[in-house]
Amino acid sequence: MTVPQMKEAVCRWARQCYEEKLFAGTSGNLSVYDKEAGVMAITPTSVAYEAITPEDMSVIRLDGTVLEGPYRPSSEWRMHAAVYEAKPEAGAVIHTHSPYATAFAVNNRNIPAILIEMAFFLGGDVPLAKFAVPGTREVGTEAVKALAGRTGCLLANHGVLALGKDLEQAHLRAVYIEDAAKICSIAMSNGPIVAISQEQIDAMRG
Ligand code: 13P
């Protein structure tokens, strides 16, 4: 992907996440990373998603050096950089504030593995990363710890993080995290839930 293509993709998926209410207000952010070039395109901080254009996107290195963009990069760029450094399979990272999943993050609990899609798309349950001060690298290092064997996690009292080889895959995972949290919330209001066992998850994943 060229840098203009990266900026276009980041802008397009950010608007989609906003329209789908995975982002709220100006919160939530997403990025793509070109490993060979060592360059990340990321949403700018605190800019209204209704009106953003590809030219508004920030292009930075993983050390925070700004290469392009009229605004400051997302305040969570360090978290994105920490994930790319620790997870070579990651080409895109999405951080949402989707409400049902973020409610579990506020409860400081994981989303149990309750749906078959969670085995295929998420690797099992959605674990909880320990709280870290927003904007610090620690948000990313705690997320990386929680992401062992998983493609998404919750950030305590903060939101959701999903990764993928590209934005399409990261977005799909963020959608499944919110879907699982919503269904789990409804199921818990009906009565006790039954989670899928690790053996069953392993059997489904072959
Ligand atoms: P920005 O990307 O606008 O800095 O958003 C902050 C945020 O979502 C913190 O969780």
Per-residue pLDDT reduced to its tens digit, 55-111: 999 999 999 999 999 999 999 999 999 999 999 999 999 999 999 999 999 999 999
Residues with a known catalytic role: 76
Could you please report the per-residue DSSP string of the chain?
--HHHHHHHHHHHHHHHHHTTSS-TT--EEEEEETTTTEEEEPBTT--GGG--GGG-EEEETT--EEE-SS-B-TTHHHHHHHHHH-TT-SEEEEE--HHHHHHHHTT--B---SHHIIIIISSSBPEEPP--TTSHHHHHHHHHHTTT-SEEEETTTEEEEEESSHHHHHHHHHHHHHHHHHHHHHHHHS---PPPHHHHHHHH-
What is the best residue among 10, 75, 139 to mutate for testing ligand 1's pocket, by most ligand atoms within 8 Å of CB? 75
206 pLDDT more than 90: no
CB of 29 sitting under 6 A from ligand 1: yes
What is the best residue among 22, 74, 106, 161 to mutate for testing ligand 1's pocket, by most ligand atoms within 8 Å of CB? 74
Tell me the whole-structure pTM to 2 decimals. Answer: 0.96
